[in-house]
Amino acid sequence: MDKYRDPRDAVEIIDKFKTLPTIGDVKLFADEIFPGWFISSINEYCSDYPYLTDNWKTVCSLTGSKKAQIIIVDDIIDDQDHTIIKMFAECFTLSGFNVRTKNDYFECSNCGRAIPSFKLWETFKEKKFNVPETWAPTCKNCL
Ligand SMILES: [Zn+2]
């Protein structure tokens, strides 16, 4: 995913980033530097996955932030060549947002809440997390 590799003017980007007053400004700046990275925002997780919300609340209490929204982005790459994109993701996380990738989460077609992909559900199940017995693309009881 080279489109999210640190640009050559990374230092200038970091300097400007530090001057941004609000999370809304950070979002606009992210759109400018990495167009198409930010895809959508979702208010809640599907209630069939309560521990996703619990984890989110834990992150918020650790960072002293309030639960804001789930942000769906194109990709998150965690290595030395992608520090700028990581800086944006961390900034949102510190502000109470839960940053997720489009491959891992999508919206329930009935209610719009965030549901993990089949692949992620399988991973959760392997780890013996409390998840539904069978995967479904919609919530059990949202209608
Ligand atoms: Zn639903």
Phi, psi (rounded to 5 degrees) for 40: -160, 170
With 0-12 CB in 10 A as exposed, 13-18 as middle and 19+ as buried, what is 46? buried
Please check the confidence at residue 1 and state whether its pLDDT lies above 80: no
- Expressed in angstroms and rounded, the spacing between residue 117 Cα and the centre of ligand 1 is 14
- Expressed in angstroms and rounded, the spacing between residue 3 Cα and the centre of ligand 1 is 33
What tokens appear for 113 in the block?
A: 């809440």
- Expressed in angstroms and rounded, the spacing between residue 12 Cα and the centre of ligand 1 is 42
- Expressed in angstroms and rounded, the spacing between residue 43 Cα and the centre of ligand 1 is 12
pLDDT in tens, 14-59: 999 999 999 999 999 999 999 999 999 999 999 999 999 999 999 9
pLDDT in tens, 56-94: 999 999 999 999 999 999 999 999 999 999 999 999 999
Model-level pTM?
Answer: 0.93
- Expressed in angstroms and rounded, the spacing between residue 97 Cα and the centre of ligand 1 is 20
